[in-house]
Amino acid sequence: MESSTTYAIVQALTKAIVDHRLQPGTKLAEQRLADHFGVSRTLVRQAFFQLSQNRLIRLEPARGAFVASPSVSESKQVFAVRRMLETEMTRAFAREATPSKIKALKDHIKQEKNALAQGDVSGRTELLGDFHVKMAELMGNKVLAQMLGELISRCALITLMYQTDSAAEHSNDEHSIIVKALANKNEALAAQLMNEHLMHVEENLTFDRKLPTSDVSLALSQAKF
């Protein structure tokens, strides 16, 4: 029971961070969160530990827990790792692409377009990141899907801090081009396009951007669990 409760807290806070409702640098007060979730502070601390392992929050002795604020250097390293992983993933996907897998990716891209058209910022952010995880899931590689999920959660913080407004639409267009190459089983082109796509996302980051602030209670009150 305790593990499932801790998991629920981790999921709720992760979603609030990924959906950009909890901002980088926000202090997470144990008692306030315990009251919000109706649990003990021990369970909140357990959730904090798991989130710190995923690099979504940082724990500071005598100060408490804070939503992580990735540095410019760390942000670039995260994208470097993603390029290494996802370029090879794309090659492998192209080799085993089937009509049903391609259709699943095209359906996902339609969802991205709908979120963009509706101005659904949190929805589009989640869908654009999930495209990459979806590829790993369609390959049946649960380990890769989990690793990408964790990296993309960290990227959600990075994009919140540094991404420009026009980047989301470009990402959707580039996803479509990647899928066309995958459908043609053009392994080399698909891998090149994926590498270029991730380079473009990184290039669209504005590293001198001022950071926003947020209120924990407000962020969690807007969530639907």
- Render pLDDT for 146-193 as a digit per residue (tens, 0 to 9): 999 889 888 877 876 776 656 778 889 999 999 999 999 999 999 999
Classify each residue of 109-132 as buried b or exposed e, where b means 16 or more C-beta atoms within 10 Å of its C-beta: bebbbebbeeeeebbbbbbbbbbb
Looking at this protein, which amino acid is placed at residue 125? Answer: T
- Render pLDDT for 1-36 as a digit per residue (tens, 0 to 9): 557 889 899 888 988 887 778 888 899 999 999 999
Map out the domains of the chain with their CATH numbers: 2-70+210-221 (1.10.10.10), 72-203 (1.20.120.530)
Query: Hey, what long-range contacts does 175-180 have (CB within 8 A, 24 or more apart)?
Result: 175/105, 175/109, 175/112, 175/128, 175/131, 176/109, 178/90, 179/102, 179/105, 179/106, 179/109
Give the pTM: 0.71
